Structure 1
């Protein structure tokens, strides 16, 4: 399987890439590293990436910035960091990428536990992660050509055993599930 891994040099990407590379061809993409460059906040950058890479079976996104801070410090500009980058960036990966992904391919997005279990100082993350989960649930009803979409919603990554995190992403790409929010280590 040919997998596009966006955010391969990030915390989760560094865990996933070596394991996935044992059985799959991995094409990495990131803002500053990887085989290709991508700016998730720019739909033209997303389109360019999909035009450059052919025959993608799965797209996994483990990238996206989001603001952390208390409610009093939150403003439109800070909320838009996560909306434009993590939320809209992953939505655009699907909206644009569905035209390029192989039949019966899959998208795996990454949200986070704040979408279901917010804590103080994380309102922006709660908005973004909840939005990603809602998008996955809805988009799964309409994607064509057998394309599937799921989200991994991890808790604090440093508290998750690597094999548990890897198994969640592997489940999304290898099993015939669609529209699932896979919660990891809540």
Structure 2
């Protein structure tokens, strides 16, 4: 399959890209600062440019989404808007613009996260964004068939415990290799409307 990978130079994107490539897929990488195509998917016009350059593809995989972390009392309206644009609208645009551009039985795999269900202090914007992405996936699945859409919802990465482990006390971490396999399951499998929680 020809797969468009968004966020390809990040920690998760790198792992997912390697896993998909090893499985024989042609992976076209997209990132703000690196990759085959350099675009910011938070801008709908740049999403259109990505699809124009990519041509016909079989699957879209997103591993990118920016959200601010601050206490609720320190958040401003623009902080929540930033989370919406950085993680929700950007991925919705990948789907909205991508439906006519991917194969008839192609798929979308988006990124959400544990904070939709297990919030942490300073994580209200991330919880909001993740919950919105999951709701969108379930809604879009019933409209875009036979194309498919799923989301991967990981906890803190084992490889990132040194930096982020203190924010997730008592929460079991997950390795990047396992998260990458959830993307494989979504891309190569047959399910739709699923949230793969890890």
Q: Structure 1 length normalisation: TM-score? A: 0.95
Q: What SS does structure 1 have at the residue aligned with 2:29?
A: strand
In structure 1, distance between residues paired with 2:153 and 2:129: 12
Q: Spell out, residue by residue over 1:14-70, the C-alpha distance to the aligned partner (whole angstroms, 9 max, x if none).
A: 111112111110000011110002212211100111011122111000011101111
In structure 2, the residue matched to 1:176 is 190
Name the stretch that deviates more: 41-50 or 152-161. 152-161
Considering fraction of residues, name the structure with more helix.
2
In structure 2, the residue matched to 1:66 is 67
In structure 2, distance between residues paired with 1:74 and 1:162: 30
- Confirm whether residue 102 of structure 1 aligns to residue 116 of structure 2: no
Please say if residues 15 and 177 of structure 2, whose CA atoms lie closer than 8 Å, have aligned partners that are also in contact.
Answer: no
In structure 1, distance between residues paired with 2:16 and 2:54: 20
Q: Which runs of 5+ in 1 are unaligned?
A: none
Using the TM superposition, give the Cα deviation of residue 162 of structure 1 relative to its aligned residue in structure 2, in angstroms. Answer: 2.9
Q: What SS does structure 2 have at the residue aligned with 1:57?
A: strand
Q: What SS does structure 2 have at the residue aligned with 1:177?
A: coil
Number of residue pairs aligned between Structure 1 and Structure 2: 183
Using the TM superposition, give the Cα deviation of residue 102 of structure 1 relative to its aligned residue in structure 2, in angstroms. Answer: 1.1
Q: 2:175 aligns with which of 161, 165, 178?
A: 161
Q: What SS does structure 1 have at the residue aligned with 2:150?
A: strand
- Confirm whether residue 136 of structure 1 aligns to residue 150 of structure 2: no
Using the TM superposition, give the Cα deviation of residue 153 of structure 1 relative to its aligned residue in structure 2, in angstroms. Answer: 0.5
Structure 1 segments, 4+ long, off by >2 Å, are none
In structure 1, the residue matched to 2:163 is none
In structure 2, distance between residues paired with 1:41 and 1:24: 26
Quote the RMSD (CA, aligned, Å).
Answer: 1.0
In structure 2, distance between residues paired with 1:16 and 1:41: 21
In structure 1, the residue matched to 2:19 is 19
Q: Which runs of 5+ in 2 are unaligned?
A: 159-172
